[in-house]
Structure 1
Amino acid sequence: MEKICDVKGCNEKSFQTVPADLAGKVFSLKEEKTKVHLCKVHYKEYKKNTKKERETQRMDW
């Protein structure tokens, strides 16, 4: 079974899985999960909008 994007109103096929807490800051999600599936378009937007937060998380490791 093919996964679909977890952003409300999107029915595109999943491209990448990302942490739901960060994705929830950018998008309105269909349901609460720990990880969400994003299509190519939403993944690109996610990367652009969470760049600083992701860099900060990497430095904390």
Structure 2
Amino acid sequence: MSEPKTYPSAPVELPLRLGSEPEPVPGCAGCRELANVRDRARAGGDLTTVVDCNVLMARHPEGHP
């Protein structure tokens, strides 16, 4: 039988997956606004909002052909 560990294991390192960001659809005001908010958030270091804008831009259907 093996002895139980009495010390913590090394941390698990997950890969950082940086895919391409969605581009605003030409003529879509919603996409353009999300891209503007994303740019301001990135400039301010708010990466949570950057990711949120990317998700919303990728999922919103209004104004798209």
Place the TM-score, normalised by the shorter chain, in its bin. under 0.3
TM-score under structure 2 length normalisation: 0.26
- The structure whose Rg is larger is 2
TM-score under structure 1 length normalisation: 0.27
Structure with greater strand percent: 1
